[in-house]
């Protein structure tokens, strides 16, 4: 039986709005929660800042998670948060508004960090892990956002198996490279694919590649999508020419990392993404994991990344605290 938690994981200093902790984790999704559990089990004091808006909050089920196929992402996260709390962790329901060097830090030769929260609280942490994820910018098609995660998907390796041999539509409009790639990849699961470029510039080479895979390219503009009355989990596509029903739908969003905190803290960026090495950014004491630095990460990848970076953080702190031998 697990021993009862003694609530000393995050101490408060000089008033109710200040917390002092070993590690502050910003982002309560799968990467952040996995890291939080790992660090709490390593006897670190951990504060997990959770805005309650994970990327997959629209998804009704998830796949590819060992032993939990078709489980609800929200229910899994809730269970993970309860597990973290059982190891003496602390969760603050808020978002972080700034991340700056802590001028009041008293640790010699180290940089501590100050995290200001949207609820007015402040966290002083030796190390900070940012796992704020990514935002999906969807094509500007009426009804698409409302069906996102329930009837419209983007990841073939997450939902491809469920659409095998079905009549599939792919709606373009954003992120051409990614959209073209998944359109072709989806031919592994079904031979009945219609692709609407929807404003994307399709080269002759790309068009030839799709046609060789048996993909139908429809040049009409998609005006709206809605729930299909013909197929149980399908959609109706309304173009400027007609309406047609499909059994399944994918689209290619543009990926917008929620990395403002990292950038404002001075973390180095390359090619539009914050640079990390084994989770460590260019700023001492600031780490990152999950979709905020890696758009392809699925739930199991994000969980693994969070745990791996957590171990790096713990060992980094352990080495910092070793007695100096003269």
pLDDT in tens, the chain (326 residues): 344 565 444 433 333 488 999 999 999 999 999 999 999 999 999 999 999 887 777 777 788 888 888 888 889 999 999 999 999 999 999 999 999 998 765 555 567 999 999 999 999 999 999 999 999 999 999 999 999 999 999 999 999 999 999 999 999 989 999 999 999 999 999 999 999 999 999 999 999 999 999 999 999 999 999 999 999 999 999 999 899 999 999 999 999 999 999 999 999 999 999 999 999 999 999 999 999 998 877 889 999 999 999 999 999 999 999 988 76
- Measured from the Cβ of residue 156, the count of other Cβ atoms closer than 10 Å reads 19
Contacts of 219 (CB under 8 A, 6+ apart): 196, 197
Pick left, alpha or beta for residue 221 (phi over 0 → left; psi -120 to 50 → alpha; otherwise beta). Answer: beta
Q: What does the pLDDT read at residue 297?
A: 77
Q: What does the pLDDT read at residue 273?
A: 95
Q: Which residues in 34-66 are b (16+ Cβ under 10 Å) and which e?
A: bbbbbbbbbebbbbbbbbeebbbebbebbbebe
Q: What does the pLDDT read at residue 107?
A: 59
**pTM more than 0.85:** yes
Rounded to 5°, the CA angle 261-284-87 comes to 75
Q: Which residues in 81-98 are b (16+ Cβ under 10 Å) and which e?
A: beebbebbbbbbebbbee
Domains of the chain plus CATH, in order, are 11-133+258-321 (3.50.50.60), 137-254 (3.50.50.60)
Nearest C-alpha neighbor of 82 from the set 26, 115, 40, 53: 40
State the Cα–Cα distance between residues 40 and 59, nearest whole angstrom: 28
Q: What does the pLDDT read at residue 4?
A: 54
Three-class SS state of 31 = helix
State the Cα–Cα distance between residues 316 and 247, nearest whole angstrom: 50
* DSSP structural state of residue 36: H
* C-alpha Rg value of the chain to the nearest Å: 23
Tallying the residues shown for the chain, one arrives at 326
Structure tokens that stand for 280 in this block: 């460590």
């Amino acid at each position: 039986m697990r021993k009862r938690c003694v609530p000393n994981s995050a101490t408060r200093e000089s008033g109710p709005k200040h917390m002092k902790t070993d590690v502050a984790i910003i982002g309560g999704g799968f990467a952040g929660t996995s890291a939080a559990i790992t660090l709490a089990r390593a006897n670190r004091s951990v504060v997990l800042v959770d805005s309650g808006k994970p990327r997959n909050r629209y998804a009704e089920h998830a796949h590819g998670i060992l032993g939990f196929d078709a489980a609800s992402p929200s229910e899994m996260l809730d269970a993970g948060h309860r597990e973290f709390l059982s190891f003496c962790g602390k969760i603050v329901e808020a978002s972080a508004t700034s991340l700056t060097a802590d001028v009041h830090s008293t640790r010699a030769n180290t940089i501590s960090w100050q995290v200001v929260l949207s609820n007015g609280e402040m966290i002083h942490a030796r190390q900070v892990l940012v796992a704020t994820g990514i935002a999906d910018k969807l094509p500007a098609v009426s009804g698409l956002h409302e069906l996102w995660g329930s009837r419209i998907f983007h990841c073939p390796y997450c939902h491809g198996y469920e659409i095998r041999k079905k009549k599939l539509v792919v709606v373009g409009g954003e992120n051409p490279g990614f959209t073209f790639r998944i359109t072709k990849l989806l031919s592994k699961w079904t031979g009945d694919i219609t692709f609407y470029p929807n404003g994307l510039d399709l080269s002759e080479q790309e068009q030839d590649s799709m046609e060789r895979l048996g993909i139908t390219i429809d040049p009409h503009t998609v005006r709206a999508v809605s729930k299909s009355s013909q197929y149980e989990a399908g959609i109706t596509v309304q173009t400027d020419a007609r309406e047609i029903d499909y059994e399944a739908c994918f689209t290619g969003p543009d990926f917008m990392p929620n990395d403002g905190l990292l950038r404002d803290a001075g973390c180095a960026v390359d090619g539009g993404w914050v640079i990390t090495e084994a989770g460590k950014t260019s700023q001492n004491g600031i780490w990152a994991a999950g979709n905020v630095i890696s758009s392809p990460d699925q739930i199991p990848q994000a969980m693994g990344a969070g745990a791996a970076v957590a171990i790096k953080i713990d060992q980094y702190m352990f080495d910092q605290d070793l007695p100096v031998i003269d």
